[in-house]
Amino acid sequence: MAVEWSGSPPDTFLQLDRQRPETLGSQLQNALRTAVREGRLRTGERLPSSRRLAVDLGVSRGLVQATYEQLVAEGYLSAVGGSSTRVAFRPQATAVTPPERLPAARMEIDFVPGRPDLNSFPARDWLWACGEASRTAAAREMGYGDPRGSVRLREVIASYLQRVRGAVAGADDVVICGGFTQGVSLTLAALRAAGATSVAVEDPGHLDLPVLVRRAGLNPVFIPVDDGGLVVDDLAGTDATAVIVTPAHQTPTGVVLTPERRRALLEWAAQANGVVIEDDYDSEFRYDKQAVGSLQGLAAERVVSVGSVSKSLAPALRLGWVLAPRHLSDRIAEDKHRGDRGSPTLDQLALARLMESGRFDRHLRRMRGVYAGRRGELVEAIGRHAPHLELTGLAAGFHAVALLSEGTDEAAVVDAAAQRSVGLQGLGRYRSVNSAGPPGIVFGFGAVNRDAIRRGIAAVADLLR
């Protein structure tokens, strides 16, 4: 049903549809708002009386009156002298910019690093844990919680980090956060507030870290990485008072920080009154032996350890933790509280139940088998199709690095592989602007099944030779 007003521009229609679930009052309000917004009803224009419009539309006069009152309260209309109703405001035209986002080209087989197998997310166990959390949460736990996070989860995480990572941790040393990025950002903000100006990062290293350091108002200092991990001696010549490291499995080279350098790093921290931020990102997954324990266990007053479930469960859960000495954890918790009032409580309680119940460990055991199999497949496929290539790094995590023969154009290899719908990443992407090094490829195998690994390597092997 469409009604055209006499005295209104001919293109002003009010459409009411009795078949729709939306009430007639709501439909009438929205139609009038839209007409005002779009300039079809102009500022100052007089609307029909409520009696007249009610007759035209076949609705009650009360409904029209209520609609007019509502839109007067909202500023769209005004009631002049208590009788005639006019359009009160003509909003600026809303420039509707269409979103400009090109979807990234989808690779048929994508060796993107840092991505776990999303198909293996233990959805049923997680839902069970959500149910447990929902069932057992006290009403007060549905309000705003402790800025450090649920004490139950903090206890579980502290005990897990002690048991599995050799950390020194009590529930009060842990702050729950929304994953690694937020954990590091909060730590950097706390360091900045305490007077830091420069923070060292590994080179090559995690792509996001220099960005996060700068975003915190700090200056990134690039320190080279060699076969023994971070070249700790190079810290001495800088003004960095903190350093972000991946000691158990370096990103991206896959090496482990040697025992001598672990000690040297902590000596540097003690002398420089510095802080070591340990990115404990994939220590759940080592396939040949136990992962090297957390640096934090050696110097709990100097080391901040940041972890998450993004690799062990799924990035989409956005749950992580910061284990930090008290002088930093207080600031971190306050900043977390000020910034977002904490992470979702039911998710925290669900993770606590998942870990307590043994289901988390069972999932990790299963995934260790899956990822070790994929790594084996990668090693074998490269051995078969590109036998001269040597994979470096530990039998750990979801990625392996292969150096290309000197002079190879790394970017050209990546581009050529993309033409065949195989996604590769060059080692150069992980290097700072001023550093150089041999060309190489970082193969992520977490999200690629064994068959795809075989096919993917076969498809690009000639490029790697």
Q: What are phi and psi of 46, to 5 degrees?
A: -90, 135
Nearest approach in angstroms of CB 38 to a second copy is 10
Spatial separation of the C-alpha atoms in residues 269 and 263, rounded to whole Å: 10
Per CB under 8 A, contacts with a second copy among 193-232 are 211-212, 215
Pick 302 or 431: Cβ nearer a second copy:
302
The reply on whether position 338 binds a second copy by CB under 8 A is yes
Residue among 230, 234, 222 nearest 262 (CA) = 230
Pick 336 or 375: Cβ nearer a second copy:
336
Is the CB of residue 335 less than 8 Å from the CB of residue 190?
Answer: yes
Pick 394 or 464: Cβ nearer a second copy:
394
Per CB under 8 A, contacts with a second copy among 72-131 are 72-76, 78, 88-89, 91-92, 94-97, 99, 115, 118-119, 121, 123, 126-127, 130-131
**Which of residues 57, 299, 324, 400 is near a second copy by CB under 8 A?**
299
Is the CB of residue 378 less than 8 Å from the CB of residue 445?
Answer: yes
Find tokens 């991505």 and name the residue.
Answer: 115
Instruction: For the chain, count helices (H), then strands (E).
Output: 13, 18
Pick 72 or 107: Cβ nearer a second copy:
72
Helix (H) or strand (E) holding 426: strand 425-426
Pick 74 or 390: Cβ nearer a second copy:
74
Tell me the β-bridge partners of 79.
85
Question: Which amino acid is located at 145 in the chain?
Answer: G
Per CB under 8 A, contacts with a second copy among 396-415 are none
**Which of residues 24, 207, 272, 298 is near a second copy by CB under 8 A?**
298
Spatial separation of the C-alpha atoms in residues 13 and 6, rounded to whole Å: 11
Pick 386 or 448: Cβ nearer a second copy:
448
Pick 317 or 453: Cβ nearer a second copy:
317
Per CB under 8 A, contacts with a second copy among 259-278 are 259, 262-263, 266, 270
- Site size toward a second copy (CB under 8 A) is 92
Nearest approach in angstroms of CB 110 to a second copy is 11
Residue among 329, 268, 321 nearest 299 (CA) = 268
Is the CB of residue 28 less than 8 Å from the CB of residue 71?
Answer: no
Site string for a second copy, 29-68 (x = CB under 8 A): xx--x---x----------------------------x--
Question: Which amino acid is located at 184 in the chain?
Answer: V
**Cβ neighbourhood burial of 281 (10 Å; 0-12, 13-18, 19+):** buried
Which two three-digit tokens encode residue 295? 């640096």
Helix (H) or strand (E) holding 273: none
The reply on whether position 233 binds a second copy by CB under 8 A is no
The reply on whether position 314 binds a second copy by CB under 8 A is yes
Is the CB of residue 464 less than 8 Å from the CB of residue 386?
Answer: yes
Nearest approach in angstroms of CB 317 to a second copy is 6
Cis peptide bond upstream of 259, omega within 30: no
Per CB under 8 A, contacts with a second copy among 162-181 are 162-163, 166, 168, 170, 172, 177-179, 181
Nearest approach in angstroms of CB 233 to a second copy is 16
Pick 68 or 404: Cβ nearer a second copy:
68
The reply on whether position 343 binds a second copy by CB under 8 A is yes
**Cβ neighbourhood burial of 262 (10 Å; 0-12, 13-18, 19+):** buried
Pick 336 or 454: Cβ nearer a second copy:
336
Nearest approach in angstroms of CB 386 to a second copy is 29
Nearest approach in angstroms of CB 131 to a second copy is 6
Nearest approach in angstroms of CB 310 to a second copy is 8
Which two three-digit tokens encode residue 321? 């933790």
What number of other Cβ atoms are within 10 A of residue 340's Cβ?
Answer: 11
The reply on whether position 5 binds a second copy by CB under 8 A is no
Q: Which stretch binds a second copy (CB under 8 A): 56-64, 315-323, 396-404, 411-419?
A: 315-323
Site string for a second copy, 278-297 (x = CB under 8 A): -----------xx-xx-x-x
Spatial separation of the C-alpha atoms in residues 401 and 419, rounded to whole Å: 21
What number of other Cβ atoms are within 10 A of residue 314's Cβ?
Answer: 18
The reply on whether position 155 binds a second copy by CB under 8 A is no
Spatial separation of the C-alpha atoms in residues 256 and 241, rounded to whole Å: 22
**Cβ neighbourhood burial of 458 (10 Å; 0-12, 13-18, 19+):** middle
Nearest approach in angstroms of CB 136 to a second copy is 10
**Which of residues 39, 224, 228, 344 is near a second copy by CB under 8 A?**
344
